[in-house]
């Protein structure tokens, strides 16, 4: 790759910006891909090259990159009330309407909604709510929180502590105290020889119970779960898993928090991933597709039991002492309201119900037998293709080889933007508006990239064939 030209956007970026999830040292040489514009499911870089964005940005641009209704919703609200806060009982119509709409659409009965600006902030707030609740109930020891290995809940200090990925922990001095992790529900890598999916689910529920008992149930407050794990590898838990772990949580009065930041708003084929996977959460966190990510906004929904504890303690203290300047900001809230209306009016759920199975079928047809692919997994419009060094043993490549990153670069060369993640997993999460023809476009481009990569790796003697 040629170094960025002097005074180009890329050169100016190198000179001034720090990028998340980036090798900062390498970036000084390689520079960024500068995205200049977007239309539908496609984006163009500053050199005019066109890409199909098969990850919807970061699992989030659900209505694509050029929805004029969302633009106009923002413009209209900017003219009426460009900002107001929600501290000290202040409110405004967009926040009120959005809260109503979320409560109406919740997968289980919910009582109230708190607004933040990102999934990380929302999860961080939910953590504080759980601790606040247990103080209100005079259970000061019941504070430990359970995440899962390979789970992802954000990158603020508390949310990163719930997250179960090494890159989010290493050198950041997290997890903090009171954060513990249980096994990832991934049969492909976690099952013992000959262990069925149901037996695997039973074992994971037993391991969860052992963890709670070892920590002391009187100290364990809540467990966080993405219905389908996203950034940790698009892991679809086996049948009966959630039924079994929820029985354990109920037995020991441990709350269930559903992280719907990626799963929510039809991504898995239902309005919520909780409906797809059978979760009945006490708290639900959502973001990303809430506004199609046109503006930052997230939400925390709590049931009546949780809300009553928050209300009681805030009355005792005199204030619920948490929140953000931009909690319920009227412009993102107005865009989110319009987003939910578009989902309803365009019957996006029916569309996902048709194109989602097509995407799953095409990915499996093209890649299940590919020499580099160990597993194709997913449901609805979220999927993962895991690259392995040895298909027979499920052995992954040495992470130092960065095989997934190489695949992602070859995909970009073939006009496809995806994402390489842990275990060389290629993630796919196109905008919900994607068509079957556009699915073919990114599957074909990815296929060309993996065929090219296979040739390279064979030459380097890095695969078992």
Q: Are 386 and 421 in contact (CB under 8 A)?
A: no
Token reading at 454: 């296979």
Q: Is it the case that residue 433 has pLDDT exceeding 80?
A: yes
Token reading at 407: 């695949």
Specify the pLDDT at position 3: 58
User: Rounded to whole angstroms, how far apart are CA atoms 253 and 87?
Assistant: 32
pLDDT band at 49 (very low <50, low <70, confident <90, very high): very high
pLDDT band at 279 (very low <50, low <70, confident <90, very high): very high
Specify the pLDDT at position 397: 96
Residue 362: CA count within 13 A, CB half-sphere: 23
pLDDT band at 5 (very low <50, low <70, confident <90, very high): low
Out of 63-77, 248-262, 451-465, pick the least confident.
451-465
- 284-332 pLDDT, tens digit each: 999 999 999 999 999 999 999 999 999 999 999 999 999 999 999 999 9
> Where are the strands (E) in 388-434, listed by range?
416-417, 419-421, 425-428
**Residues whose CB is less than 8 angstroms from the CB of residue 201 and which lie 6 or more positions away in sequence, other chains included:** 185, 237, 238, 239, 240, 241, 244
Q: What is the CATH number of domain 69-345?
A: 3.40.640.10
Q: Are 374 and 368 in contact (CB under 8 A)?
A: no
Query: What does the pLDDT average to over 375-404?
Result: 96
Taking the whole predicted model, whether its pTM rises above 0.75 is answered as yes
**Residues whose CB is less than 8 angstroms from the CB of residue 456 and which lie 6 or more positions away in sequence, other chains included:** 406
Q: Are 75 and 68 in contact (CB under 8 A)?
A: no
Query: What does the pLDDT average to over 446-459?
Result: 96
**What DSSP string describes 150-183?**
T----SSHHHHHH---HHHHTTTT-SPTTEEEE-
- 15-42 pLDDT, tens digit each: 999 999 999 999 999 999 999 999 999 9
Q: Domain extents for the chain?
A: 33-66+349-459, 69-345
Query: What does the pLDDT average to over 210-227?
Result: 98
- The matching CATH number, chosen from 3.80.10.10, 3.90.1150.10, 3.30.470.10, 2.60.120.620, for 33-66+349-459 is 3.90.1150.10
Q: Is it the case that residue 4 has pLDDT exceeding 80?
A: no
**What DSSP string describes 67-127?**
-HHHHHHHHHHHHH-S----GGG---HHHHHHHHHHHHH-SS---EEEEESSHHHHHHHHH
Residue 267: CA count within 13 A, CB half-sphere: 36
First-to-last alpha carbon distance for the chain, in angstroms, is 30
pLDDT band at 461 (very low <50, low <70, confident <90, very high): confident
Peptide bond into 256 cis (omega under 30): no
Query: What does the pLDDT average to over 32-55?
Result: 97
Nearest to 95 by CA among 313, 264, 347, 290: 290
Query: What does the pLDDT average to over 339-349?
Result: 98
Nearest to 423 by CA among 439, 412, 411, 407: 407
Query: What does the pLDDT average to over 240-251?
Result: 98
Token reading at 148: 């899962």
Phi first, then psi: give them for residue 145, nearest 5 degrees: -125, 135
Query: What does the pLDDT average to over 130-159?
Result: 98
pLDDT band at 176 (very low <50, low <70, confident <90, very high): very high
Query: What does the pLDDT average to over 259-287?
Result: 98
Q: Among residues of the chain, what percentage have pLDDT more than 90? A: 97
DSSP state of 407: H
Query: What does the pLDDT average to over 333-341?
Result: 98
pLDDT band at 102 (very low <50, low <70, confident <90, very high): very high
Specify the pLDDT at position 464: 61
- 357-373 pLDDT, tens digit each: 999 999 999 999 999 99
Stated as kind and residue range, the H or E segment containing 314 is: helix 304-317
- Mean of the per-residue pLDDT values for the chain? 97
User: Rounded to whole angstroms, how far apart are CA atoms 323 and 193?
Assistant: 49
pLDDT band at 462 (very low <50, low <70, confident <90, very high): confident
Q: Is it the case that residue 465 has pLDDT exceeding 70?
A: no
Specify the pLDDT at position 7: 83
Q: Is it the case that residue 185 has pLDDT exceeding 90?
A: yes
């Amino acid at each position: 790759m040629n170094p960025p030209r002097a005074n180009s956007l890329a050169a100016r970026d190198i000179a001034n910006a720090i990028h998340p999830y980036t090798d900062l040292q390498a970036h000084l040489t390689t520079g960024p891909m500068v995205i200049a514009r977007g239309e539908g499911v496609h984006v163009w870089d500053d050199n005019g090259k066109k890409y199909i964005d098969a990850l919807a940005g970061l699992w989030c641009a659900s209505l694509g990159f050029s929805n004029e209704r969302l633009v106009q919703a923002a413009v209209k609200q900017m003219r009426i009330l460009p900002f107001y806060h929600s501290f000290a009982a202040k409110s405004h119509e967009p926040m009120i309407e959005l809260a109503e709409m979320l409560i109406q659409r919740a997968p289980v009965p919910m009582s109230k909604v708190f607004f933040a600006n990102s999934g990380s902030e929302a999860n961080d707030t939910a953590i504080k709510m759980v601790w606040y609740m247990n103080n209100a109930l005079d259970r000061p020891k019941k504070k430990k929180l359970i995440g899962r290995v390979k789970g992802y809940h954000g990158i603020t200090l508390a949310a990163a502590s719930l997250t179960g990925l090494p890159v989010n922990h290493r050198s950041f001095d997290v997890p903090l105290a009171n954060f513990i992790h249980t096994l990832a529900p991934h049969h492909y890598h976690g099952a013992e020889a000959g262990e069925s999916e149901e037996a695997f689910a039973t074992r994971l529920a037993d391991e969860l119970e052992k963890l709670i008992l070892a920590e002391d149930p009187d100290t364990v407050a809540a467990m966080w779960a993405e219905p389908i794990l996203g950034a940790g590898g698009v892991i679809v838990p086996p049948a009966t898993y959630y039924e079994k772990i929820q029985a354990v949580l109920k037995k020991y009065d441990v709350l269930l928090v559903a992280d719907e930041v990626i799963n929510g708003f039809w991504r898995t084929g239902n309005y919520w991933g909780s409906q797809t996977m059978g979760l009945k959460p006490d708290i639900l966190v959502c973001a990303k597709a809430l506004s199609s990510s046109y503006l930052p906004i997230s939400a925390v929904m709590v049931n009546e039991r949780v809300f009553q504890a928050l209300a009681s303690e805030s009355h005792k203290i005199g204030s619920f002492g948490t929140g953000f300047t931009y909690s319920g900001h009227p412009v993102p809230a107005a865009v989110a309201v319009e987003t939910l209306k578009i989902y309803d009016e365009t019957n996006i759920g029916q569309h996902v119900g048709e194109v989602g199975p097509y995407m799953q079928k095409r990915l499996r047809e093209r890649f299940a037998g590919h020499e580099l692919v160990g597993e194709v997994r997913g449901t609805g419009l979220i999927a993962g293709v895991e690259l392995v060094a040895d298909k027979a043993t499920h052995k992954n490549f040495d992470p130092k080889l960065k095989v997934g990153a190489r695949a992602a670069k070859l995909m970009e060369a073939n006009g496809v933007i995806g994402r390489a993640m842990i275990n060389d997993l290629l993630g796919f999460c196109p905008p919900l508006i994607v068509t079957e023809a556009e699915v073919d476009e990114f599957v074909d481009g990815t296929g060309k990239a993996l065929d090219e990569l296979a040739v390279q790796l064979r030459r380097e003697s890095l695969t078992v064939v």
